[in-house]
Amino acid sequence: MIIRPHRHWFVRLFAWHGSVLPGIWFRLTLNLMMSVIAILCLDWYETLGIKLTLAPFSLLGVSIAVFLGFRNSVCFGRFIEARMFWGNLLIACRTLQRLALAISPAEAPRVMSLLLAFCYSLKHQLRRTDAHEDMRRYLGDEADEILTRRSPTNFIELQLSNWLAVQRRNGNLSDILYAHIDDSINQLSQVLGGCERLASMPIPFAYGLLLHRTVYLFCTLLPFALVPDLHYMTPLVSVFIAYTFLSLDTLAEELEMPFGLANNHLPLDAMCTNIEINLREMNLEQELPDTPQPDRHYRLT
């Protein structure tokens, strides 16, 4: 995710890091080349007696804008939903750690290790990266056995439920307190299930493909409709319109799956570190991880 300080509006016009321009500049260059070709071929083009008018492009442009806006709204909703899941994860971890400290301070470090392992395991599961290093850091040799499971994150949640059952059998919990802790563990399950749903169910491929093809066909033919009226201004207008449509299309693709490492994805590394700081501070530990900060390109992973 890009975290930029507030800047003057004029300075923001020239912002490069965090925009979608690095990903679409080559496609904009192709549109510029098509505009130049349209200008060079204008005389030959007019002798054919075939003329593209702006009327169909105006109607098609409005339709594309509406559908791109709808798709971006849906993708942004997925992004916000994913952020809410991780916010709920922070709340559930704080609650479980607080109750573990109140019930059995001796067992609180074990609960903290399981909660942190759950968070980092979920992060690696969503990003499809190797979780061995983080899991061994919190669970030691136990991590090797857990990572053999098809769903290690779910198995870590089961370990928390087993800890709760032991506390119940030992008479450390009342019925009300047992139910309250169980509800917090259920919140972990809801977060896991919700994130898995978002990661495994993208927007229907045919819908995105239709928009993708329409946008590129529109941007390819647009210079030939503009050139009879705009002549040498065609490249400027065509590239600007293409920038608008290609940016919306590219941004929707990034927001559709918010758990990756792109500029507009959730900073899961920073979120996991923030949860770790909270839990270790609750345990009165002195050595805490450094607060996550954006890099020199304002990027927070």
Beta-carbon contacts of 258 under 8 Å, excluding residues fewer than 6 positions away, are 78, 79, 82, 83, 198, 264, 265, 266
Cα–Cα distance measured from residue 240 to residue 223, given in angstroms and rounded to the nearest whole number? 11
How far apart are alpha carbons 8 and 209 in whole angstroms?
37
Would the pLDDT of 123 be above 90? yes
pLDDT score, position 154: 94
Is residue 8's pLDDT more than 70? no
On the question of pLDDT at 90 being above 80, the answer is yes
> Whole-angstrom Cα distance, residue 263 to residue 4?
12
| DSSP structure string for 59-124 | HHHHHHHHHHHHHHHHHHHHHHHHHHHHHHHHHHHHHHHHHHHHH-GGGHHHHHHHHHHHHHHHHH
CB 211 within 8 A of CB 70: no
For helices 108-127 and 268-282, give the axis angle rounded to 10 degrees: 180
Cα dihedral 137, 116, 281, 91 in deg (nearest 10): 170
Between 61 and 270, name the one with better pLDDT: 270
Backbone angle region of 21, left / alpha / beta, with phi > 0 → left and psi within -120 to 50 → alpha: alpha
Q: What is the mean pLDDT of residues 94-100?
A: 93
pLDDT at 188: 95
pLDDT surpassing 70 at residue 49: no
pLDDT tens-digit readout, 229-251: 888 888 999 999 999 999 988 88
pLDDT exceeds 90 at position 18: no
* Residue-level pLDDT at 50: 67
Q: What is the mean pLDDT of residues 146-162?
A: 92
Considering the chain, what percentage of its residues have pLDDT values greater than 90? 42
Residue 117: pLDDT band (50, 70, 90) is very high
**For the chain, percent of residues with pLDDT exceeding 70:** 97
The pLDDT, as a whole number, for residue 269 is 93
Q: Answer whether 267's CB lies under 8 Å from 1's CB.
A: yes
Confidence of residue 297 (pLDDT cuts 50, 70, 90): confident
pTM for this entry: 0.87
**Burial call 263-298: b when 16+ CB within 10 Å, e when fewer:** bbbbbbebbbbbbbbebbebeeeeeeeeebebeeee
Which residue has tokens 């439920």? 161
Return the structure tokens found at 92: 């559930």
Q: Measuring CA to CA, how many Å separate 143 from each of 56, 71, 112, 155, 158?
A: 61, 40, 15, 11, 14
Q: Across the chain, what does the average pLDDT equal?
A: 88
Distant-in-sequence, close-in-space partners of 264: CB < 8 Å, separation ≥ 6: 1, 2, 79, 251, 254, 255, 258
Split at pLDDT 50, 70, 90, the class of 125 is very high
Mean pLDDT of 269-286: 91
| pLDDT attached to residue 111 | 93
Containing H/E element for 56?
helix 54-103
14-33: b or e for each residue (b if 16 or more CB lie within 10 Å)?
Answer: eeeebbbeebbeebbeebbe
- Please tell me the predicted confidence (pLDDT) of residue 9: 66
- The tokens describing 64, both together, are 């594309």
Q: Residue 204: what pLDDT? A: 85
Q: What is the mean pLDDT of residues 31-45?
A: 85
pLDDT the model gives residue 205: 85
Distances 183 to 31, 147, 180 between C-alpha atoms, Å: 55, 26, 5
Q: What is the mean pLDDT of residues 20-48?
A: 84
